[in-house]
Amino acid sequence: MLYKKILVCLIILFLISRASPVNAQAPTDNPVYIVQIGDTLTQIAIEFGITLNALIEANNITDPNAITVGTSLIIPGFEGISGVLTSENAQLGETFRSILLKHQINEALFVRLNRITSPDEIYAGSSLIVPENAQAATFSPLGSLDDSESLLDMAVKTNSNPWTLVGRNNWQGDWDVIPGEMIFGNAGQTQKDINPISPFISKVEITPLPLIQGETTEIKITTTQPINLSGTLTGQQLHFFENKQNEYIAFQGIYRMTDQGIYPINLNGDVPGGSPFKFEQSILVVQRPRIEDPPLSVDSETIDPAITGPEDALVDKIVSVITPDRLWDGAFNAPIDVPNGYALFPDCTTDGYGNLRSFNGGPLNQFHGGIDLSACGNNLNIYAVASGKVVFTQLLIVRGNYTIIDHGWGVFSGYAHQSDVKVKVGDEVKAGQLIGSIGATGRVTGPHLHWDMWVNRVQVNPLDWIKNTYP
């Protein structure tokens, strides 16, 4: 009887071990990485500069699709390094040296983990591998020096010993301090948020980071007092609006055809009663998934630059107006009747945003600037996606019967190919208000609604505005 019980236990243990897709135990001479939401084995392998096969073999993975959030993965190729590794994106204002100090990482280890050849490779949005350090909280950021300050000024202001600061920050001496670079002191020495851009800024949040082709970027800056902010991003002038006291927000679309790479972001501040500041750093833009639409055949007139150019210029002029009042509240709604409560209406979408297109045998050098939606459930109604003001209604050659609604802060929605328009310029509309009917006017291959969104003159993925609540 005892023999049978032991045999059953052994069989159960064998089956459990066979079912486990990942060996979660790491050897002592290799680090481990904890799987995060959205991770794939391919992404993790790329992140650590190893092959997918090496990652699979090191962890005895039998099913690459079965990794789950929280799984510990052995990372091969880093013999001699132990502990848990994490991944984070460098934030605006962070530098090679400030990251070392914040995490208390050995420079040689950090360089090896991230394959860094120059400190200049650190830019906002760059993905960094850092070891978890239980002692990282022993240093706190104190602020940064401007051109008119000395280390002694900072020491007096923070009640610190200047030579202690020299040691804490790994300087050779007080002459080694770089203006604008974050200075760290003892834990608990400061309780407020500190940002290296300016003493008048406590926090800068950029979402998403890195930036993504065709997506909406939100820049939120929290300040210590009222301030006038301006700046540029990927060559576009930023417009900041006060969302609440000492909190300023700018939205910027990233053009779909922007090349992947690093671009400058500039921030300027005019502080009443204080010194103005300027800040510039590089920020990363990454690609969106590449999807190609089947070749399309349309009326040649609707792809003639002599027609499309002036029409695009007309629309650009409309969406270039920046209304200082935010007219919407909360997440945007679907512009059509959505059956069965589908939040993102996949059953109604006939073509997605950003897909590459070729017309009449031409090159694949254009992209779909919005989302095409069918008449779900044979309901032709079109609704305003959010509250705003109608600023354009006209029959155009490419867009057909077209309506544009201004939602404020440089955000616009557009509704193309309507059979009829039920609003006029100047009308103030509410979210969900009936504004037109689905049709087949303009450049179409069949009846549908083409829904556009602009953010500071750039067409963006409309689904961002349903999935996210801005601000």
Element (H or E) spanning 453, and its range? strand 449-455
Give me the pLDDT at residue 342, please.
57
Domain count, the chain: 3
Q: Is 270 found in the same domain as 357? A: no
Question: Omega before 471 cis (within 30°)?
Answer: yes
Query: Is residue 151 a part of any domain in this protein?
Result: no
Give me the pLDDT at residue 357, please.
93
Query: Is residue 41 a part of any domain in this protein?
Result: yes
pLDDT per residue of the chain (471 residues) written in tens, 0 to 9:
444 444 444 444 444 444 444 444 434 478 999 998 888 999 899 888 899 999 999 999 988 887 888 899 999 988 888 889 888 899 998 888 888 887 878 888 899 889 898 888 899 999 899 888 655 555 667 777 777 778 888 788 778 877 778 777 777 777 778 776 778 776 655 545 667 788 788 899 999 999 999 999 999 999 999 999 999 999 999 999 999 999 999 999 999 999 999 999 999 999 887 778 899 999 999 999 999 999 998 999 999 999 999 999 999 999 999 999 999 999 999 999 887 655 567 778 889 999 999 999 899 989 999 999 998 877 899 999 999 999 999 999 999 999 999 999 999 999 999 999 999 999 999 999 999 999 999 999 899 999 999 999 999 999 999 999 999
Q: Is 344 found in the same domain as 246? A: no
**Token reading at 463:** 């689904």
CATH number of the domain at 226, please: 2.60.40.1930
Residue 40 belongs to domain spanning = 21-82
Q: Give me the phi and psi of 162, to 5 degrees please.
A: -60, -35
Q: Give me the phi and psi of 166, to 5 degrees please.
A: -60, -45
Q: Is the pTM of this model over 0.95?
A: no
Give me the pLDDT at residue 220, please.
97
Give me the pLDDT at residue 343, please.
59
Q: What 3-state DSSP class applies to 97?
A: helix
Q: Is 274 found in the same domain as 308? A: no
* Distances, alpha carbon 39 to alpha carbons 19, 253, 464, in Å: 21, 25, 21
Q: Is 428 found in the same domain as 308? A: yes
Q: Is 326 found in the same domain as 277? A: no
Count CB-CB contacts under 10 A for residue 282: 17
Q: Is 30 found in the same domain as 54? A: yes
Query: Is residue 196 a part of any domain in this protein?
Result: no
Query: Is residue 157 a part of any domain in this protein?
Result: no
The β-bridge relationship of strands 228-233 and 261-270 is antiparallel
C-beta of residue 76 within 8 angstroms of C-beta of residue 30: yes
C-beta of residue 372 within 8 angstroms of C-beta of residue 448: yes
CATH number of the domain at 441, please: 2.70.70.10
Q: Is 306 found in the same domain as 428? A: yes
C-beta of residue 168 within 8 angstroms of C-beta of residue 154: no
Cα–Cα distance measured from residue 254 to residue 213, given in angstroms and rounded to the nearest whole number: 5
Beta-bridge partners for 416? 450
* Residue finishing a domain among 254, 286, 318: 286
Q: Is 330 found in the same domain as 266? A: no
Q: What 3-state DSSP class applies to 115?
A: coil
Q: Is 427 found in the same domain as 329? A: yes
User: Taking Cα atoms as reference points, which of 255, 435, 437, 457 lies closest to residue 353?
Assistant: 255
Query: Is residue 345 a part of any domain in this protein?
Result: yes
Helices 107-114 and 96-103: crossing angle in degrees, nearest 10, is 110
Give me the pLDDT at residue 18, please.
42
> Taking the alpha carbons of 420, 422, 428, 433 in that order, is the dihedral positive or negative?
negative
Element (H or E) spanning 86, and its range? strand 84-89
* Residue finishing a domain among 63, 82, 101: 82
Cα–Cα distance measured from residue 99 to residue 254, given in angstroms and rounded to the nearest whole number: 27
Q: Is 236 found in the same domain as 328? A: no
Query: Is residue 267 a part of any domain in this protein?
Result: yes
Q: Is 387 found in the same domain as 409? A: yes
Q: What is the DSSP string of 343-395?
A: TT-GGGEEE-TT-EE-BTT--S-EE--SEEE--GGG--EEE-SSSEEEEEEEE
Q: CA angle, corner 248, sides to 247 and 250, nearest 5?
A: 150
Cα–Cα distance measured from residue 250 to residue 447, given in angstroms and rounded to the nearest whole number: 36
Dihedral, CA of residue 185, residue 189, residue 194 and residue 195, to nearest 10: -10
Q: CA angle, corner 84, sides to 80 and 89, nearest 5?
A: 110
Q: Is 432 found in the same domain as 406? A: yes
Cα–Cα distance measured from residue 366 to residue 437, given in angstroms and rounded to the nearest whole number: 27
C-beta of residue 418 within 8 angstroms of C-beta of residue 400: yes
CATH number of the domain at 32, please: 3.10.350.10
